[in-house]
């Protein structure tokens, strides 16, 4: 269900040259200094390198305030468009630092649907094989009656481990490119404030706490609020999985868990939160200005949002139909989605938060050091 890769071949030299051209204009202007930390960070870099531009792009929270404030947006001949430029550079970031770089092409919607279907068929086959044909007849609400426990761990675990390894490698490569010293990655205090700023989306608030000018030309908090639904919802479902593992391995309580239990409650709230958040973000996105982002990022946002919707809806449905005969079928569909998602996650917009958190962390490091005289 992850439809489009977010990587792009532009960026690169041409992308950098134009980003630098625009940001040099910004550096002689500096009107946007009050909106977000990108602008003070730009002032600290008067001779821009590709690493600088990558850092600034990932620090940008795409609030669009600067675009609305800028006297030089197209059709002005200076053609300044920071949110678009930064979107371009972010997709270049994802391309550059995720290794191995698999690029899912235009037909990715079809490809993912095929992948999910194929995975579902494989799962059905495996399930039937292992349970000697009984898998799809069970309705005791336990996943392990459908897919054997060890098999499930391997099927879901392998792509998850792959995703984690790829992302860890990306973190190191990104950090070396934008900042240099890996030792600088270990400042506990700075991490605390960085994570605080990231989780609250502090930099998507507009300079005067009025919110960002998205999707139209009025400041609003909607995008930030919906994103919090998605982010916190995601964390809750993550927590739900962890607590289920805890129940199983530490408390020796096997699923299905009762309705009033930590895994079910957190999973349900998290799932609903994500669906609501994604629906809100999708509605906003449709109304937003396409000229302030790139086509690649536009598609990546949409497909990531839809992916989360499908993932969470199937998850929620599995929960609600636990006691019915369709349970095994839905479970298989949901598991197929999960497996495909984990496999392709590093090549989607999913990775945005990894680089964003790093950029915020770097910004914290820079701003807590004594500021050099301007």
Partner 1 sequence: MTSPGWSQVASRLWDVIVIGGGNAALVSALSARDEGAEVLLIERSDVIFRGGNSRHTRNIRCVHGDDSEWNTGAYTGEELWKDLCGIGTGPSNEALARLTVEASQSAPEWMYAHGGRFQPPLAGTLHLGRTNTFFLGGGKALINSYYRSAEAAGIHVRYETKVTGFEFDQNRCTGLLVEAEGGAHRLQAKNIVVAAGGFEANIEWLRRYWGDAALNYHIRGPRTNDGSVLANLLEAGAHSAGEERGFHSVAVDARSPKYDGGIATRVDSIPMGLVLNKNAERFYDEGEDIWPKRYAIWGKNIALQPDQIAYAIWDSQVQGMFLPPMYGTFSGPSVADVAGQLGIDPDQAATTVAEFNRHTAPDARARFDPSGYDGVSAASQPPKSNWALPVDTAPFYGIPLRPGITFTYMGVQVDSQARVQRVDGPAFDNVFAAGEIMSGNILSTGYLAGFGMAIGTVWGRIAGKEAALNDRT
Judged by the rule CB under 8 A, the positions of this chain that interact with partner 1 are 24-25, 27-35, 40, 43, 46, 65-66, 68-73, 75-78, 207-208, 210, 217-218, 373-374
Give the nearer residue to ligand HEM in terms of CB position, either 22 or 205. Answer: 205
**Residue 330 backbone dihedrals phi, psi, to 5 degrees:** -65, -40
Q: CB 330 → ligand SF4: shortest distance, Å?
A: 40
Asked whether the bond before 54 is cis by omega within 30 degrees of 0, the reply is no
- Min dist CB 245 to ligand SF4, Å, is 37
Collect all residues with Cβ–Cβ distance below 8 Å to 235 and sequence separation of at least 6. Answer: 270
Q: What is the dihedral of CA 87, 341, 154, 253, to 10 degrees?
A: 110
User: How many angstroms separate the Cα of 80 from the Cα of each of 25, 66, 147, 252, 317?
Assistant: 8, 10, 54, 59, 46
CA-based torsion, 170, 8, 274, 159: positive or negative: negative
- Which of 9, 14, 17, 30 contacts ligand SF4 by CB under 6 A? 30
List 44, 72, 248, 282, residue binding ligand SF4 (CB under 6 A): 72
Residue 329 binds: one of partner 1, ligand HEM, ligand SF4, none (C-beta under 5 to 8 A by kind): none
Residue 100 is classified by DSSP as: S
| By CB under 6 A, residue 356 contacts ligand HEM | yes
Interaction between residue 76 and ligand SF4 (CB under 6 A) = no
> What is the C-alpha to C-alpha distance for residues 332 and 173, in angstroms, rounded to an integer?
36
Q: Binding residue for ligand SF4 (CB under 6 A) from 19, 38, 339, 357?
A: 38
Sole binder of ligand SF4 in the list 9, 14, 17, 31 (CB under 6 A) = 31
Left if phi > 0, otherwise alpha if psi is -120 to 50, otherwise beta: which for 64? left
Query: Of residues 154-213, which lie at the interface with ligand HEM (CB under 6 A)?
Result: 198-199, 204
How many other β-carbons are positioned within 10 Å of the β-carbon of residue 357? 18
Which residue in 11, 50, 83, 328 binds ligand SF4 (CB under 6 A)?
83
Residue 70 binding ligand SF4, by CB under 6 A: yes
| Continuous segment of H or E residues that includes residue 159 | helix 149-178
Smallest gap from residue 177 Cβ to ligand HEM (A): 19
Contact partner at residue 36 from partner 1, ligand HEM, ligand SF4, none, CB < 5 to 8 Å by partner kind: ligand SF4
Pair of tokens at residue 129: 């094989």
Q: How many residues bind ligand SF4 (CB under 6 A)?
A: 24
Q: Cβ of residue 62: shortest distance to ligand HEM, in angstroms? A: 4
Question: Which residue do the tokens 């929270």 mark?
Answer: 61
Residue 259, phi then psi, degrees to nearest 5: -60, -40
Q: Which of 10, 45, 149, 285 binds ligand HEM (CB under 6 A)?
A: 285
**Nearest residue (CB) to ligand SF4, 1 versus 360:** 360
# of chain residues touching ligand HEM (CB under 6 A): 20
Instruction: For residue 240, state whether it binds ligand HEM (rule: CB under 6 A).
Output: no
Concatenating the DSSP letter of every residue in 214-262 gives: -SSSS-BSHHHHHHHHHHHHHHHHHHHHHHHHHHHHTS-PPSSPPSSSH
Buried b (16+ CB within 10 A) or exposed e, 205-235: bbbeeebbbbbeeebbbebbebbbbbbbbbe
| Contact status: 349 vs ligand SF4 (CB under 6 A) | no
Q: Is 88 in the site for ligand SF4 (CB under 6 A)?
A: no
Burial tier of 322 (Cβ tally within 10 Å: 0-12, 13-18, 19+): buried
Binding site for ligand SF4 (CB under 6 A): 25-26, 29-32, 35-36, 38, 60-66, 69-70, 72, 80, 82-83, 86, 203
Binding site for ligand HEM (CB under 6 A): 61-62, 198-199, 204, 223, 227, 230-231, 234, 281, 285, 301, 304-305, 308, 352-353, 356-357
């Amino acid at each position: 269900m992850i439809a489009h890769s977010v990587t792009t071949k532009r960026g690169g030299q041409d992308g950098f040259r134009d980003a630098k051209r625009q940001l040099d204009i910004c550096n002689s202007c500096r009107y946007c200094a009050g909106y977000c930390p990108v602008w003070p960070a730009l002032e600290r870099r008067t001779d821009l390198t590709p690493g600088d531009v990558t850092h600034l792009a990932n620090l940008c929270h795409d609030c669009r305030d600067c675009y609305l404030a800028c006297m030089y947006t197209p059709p002005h001949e200076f053609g300044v468009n920071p949110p678009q430029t930064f979107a371009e550079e972010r997709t270049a970031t994802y391309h550059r630092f995720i290794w191995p770089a698999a690029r899912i092409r235009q037909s990715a919607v079809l490809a993912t649907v095929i992948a999910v279907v194929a995975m579902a068929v494989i799962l059905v086959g495996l399930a039937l094989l292992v349970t000697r044909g009984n898998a799809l007849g069970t309705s005791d609400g336990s996943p392990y009656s459908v897919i054997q426990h060890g098999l499930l761990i391997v099927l879901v675990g392998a792509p998850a481990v792959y995703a984690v390894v790829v992302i860890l490698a990306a973190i190191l490569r990104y950090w070396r490119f934008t900042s240099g010293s890996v030792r600088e990655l270990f400042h506990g205090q700075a991490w605390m404030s960085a994570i605080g700023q990231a989780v609250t989306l502090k930099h998507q608030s507009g300079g005067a706490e009025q919110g960002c000018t998205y999707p139209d030309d009025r400041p609003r908090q909607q995008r930030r609020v919906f994103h919090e639904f998605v982010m916190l919802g995601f964390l809750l479902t993550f927590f739900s999985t962890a607590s289920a593992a805890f129940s199983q391995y530490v408390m020796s309580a096997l699923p299905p868990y009762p309705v009033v239990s930590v895994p079910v409650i957190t999973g349900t709230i998290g799932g609903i939160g994500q669906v609501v958040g994604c629906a809100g973000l999708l509605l906003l996105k449709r109304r937003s200005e396409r000229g302030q982002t790139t086509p690649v990022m536009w598609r990546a946002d949409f497909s990531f949002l839809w992916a989360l919707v499908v993932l969470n809806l199937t998850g929620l449905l599995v929960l609600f139909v636990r006691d019915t005969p369709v349970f095994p079928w839905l479970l298989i569909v949901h598991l197929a989605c999960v497996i495909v998602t984990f496999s392709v996650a590093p090549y989607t917009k999913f990775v945005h938060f990894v680089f964003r958190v790093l950029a915020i962390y770097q910004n914290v490091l820079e701003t807590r050091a004594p500021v050099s005289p301007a």
